[in-house]
Amino acid sequence: MTVSLQDIASVAGVSVKTVSGALHGGSARMADETRDRIRKIAEELGYVTNFAARSMRQGWMPLIAIIGDELLTSPFATEIIRGLDNSARKADLSVFFTTIGGDRDIAKVYDDVSRFRPRAIGYAAMYHKEVVLPPELADRIGVMINCRDAAGRVTSLVPDEETAGHTIASHLIDAGRRKIAFINLPGLLAGELRERGFRAALSEAGLEPIAVLPAVKRAIYADRARSLVAQHVAELMAGPDRPDAILCGNDRVAMEVYSALRRVGAGIPDDVAVAGFDNQIDIVTRLDPPLTTMALPHRAMGRMAAEILQAAEPPERGLKLLPFQLVERASV
């Protein structure tokens, strides 16, 4: 026999509204003890939420939808998903993802996702970039994750790249390094902003970069593009003004720098300190010595996105910069 909210309310000695608030994340305020007691009674009675009926009443299913721009191919997707899922589950919401690509543009995917009647829909990108949304979606996408709306119409959660570049450069300077080169990510917004922070930190210390060089030959960085890292390191170390530190656009570049330095007989960090961005654990902890790097705030972005998407009122629109974390290891 189906257990109703009224059945639970009768056993608990509370109103149906209170039961609904305890089980479905409604607006009713109550003590944690009352909420836990109601949930325990519901479990003992075998209550199962009728999502279809609930959707008819409130106009949405207990779902958060995320449209991903190649997100699931990114090594950081897990962190964004964890942050989203952990926060959503506290409000009894589930998260599902779908991706654009091929003949499925964002407008088409949005229409497909809307058929499931999710409470809210967000958009996430594989890397920090500007995204041009169709004008009709500006008021329908609840939040941008790891990307920014080119027109500034949607709340956008992005890493604070410029401050991260300043922080890691300052860390190298504080460690006594004065001849610093930067092998950066060409053509990417993240690389541009990180370089801006890097140059500002050096300028404040009365320094100039030894060199700022692209990690790959292509105009836009890609992991599979022809690498220039080994060539750059060999030329830097053979030159008259050898660097005592190399900042790398990401941890993959740092991995190449390690190999290139070893080939010319340079020790890390005694001869050259090395630092990077991203904190890809499978890379940074396996390098010898482990890499000092700036950890991206992907889990925090996911958590904040879930909070925004489940909020009763939309937040103030605009860009929200989330800080990186400096992770010090033995490479500096």
Look at residues 292, 296, 255 and name the one whose alpha carbon lies nearest to residue 273. 292
The confidence band for 43, taking pLDDT boundaries of 50, 70 and 90, is: confident
How large is the average pLDDT for residues 162-185? 98
How large is the average pLDDT for residues 303-328? 91
How large is the average pLDDT for residues 102-119? 86
Give the pLDDT confidence of 282-299 residue by residue, as tens digits. 999 999 999 999 999 999
Q: At what angle do helices 161-174 and 189-204 cross, to 10 degrees?
A: 40
Res 242: pLDDT: 96
β-strand pairing of 61-69 with 245-248: unpaired
The confidence band for 49, taking pLDDT boundaries of 50, 70 and 90, is: low
Look at residues 253, 259, 179 and name the one whose alpha carbon lies nearest to residue 223. 253
Tokens representing residue 26 in the block: 């409604």
CATH code at 58-160+298-327: 3.40.50.2300
CB of 154 closer than 8 Å to CB of 98: no
How large is the average pLDDT for residues 301-323? 90
Reply yes or no on whether the pLDDT at 48 is more than 80.
no
Percent of the chain with pLDDT over 90: 63
| 3-class secondary structure, 47 | coil
Res 53: pLDDT: 54
The confidence band for 23, taking pLDDT boundaries of 50, 70 and 90, is: confident
Query: Across the strands, what pairs with 157?
Result: 145, 320
Res 212: pLDDT: 98
The confidence band for 316, taking pLDDT boundaries of 50, 70 and 90, is: confident
Question: Which stretch of 126-135, 172-181, 266-275 has the lowest confidence by average pLDDT?
Answer: 126-135
Reply yes or no on whether the pLDDT at 196 is more than 70.
yes
CA 280 from chain center: how many Å? 13
Res 50: pLDDT: 59
Question: In the chain, at which residue ranges do the beta strands (DSSP E only) sit?
Answer: 61-69, 94-99, 118-125, 130-131, 143-145, 148-149, 156-159, 180-184, 211-214, 245-248, 273-278, 292-295, 319-322, 325-327
Res 303: pLDDT: 95
| Topology, domain 161-295 | Rossmann fold (3.40.50)
The confidence band for 147, taking pLDDT boundaries of 50, 70 and 90, is: very high
CA 37 from chain center: how many Å? 36
- In whole angstroms, give the CA distance from residue 108 to residue 111: 5
Tokens representing residue 107 in the block: 């407008």
Give the pLDDT confidence of 206-241 residue by residue, as tens digits. 999 999 999 999 999 998 899 999 999 999 999 999
DSSP calls for 261-299: HHHTT--TTTT-EEEEEE--HHHHTTSSSPPEEEEP-HH
Give start-end residues of each CATH 3.40.50.2300 domain in the chain.
Answer: 58-160+298-327, 161-295
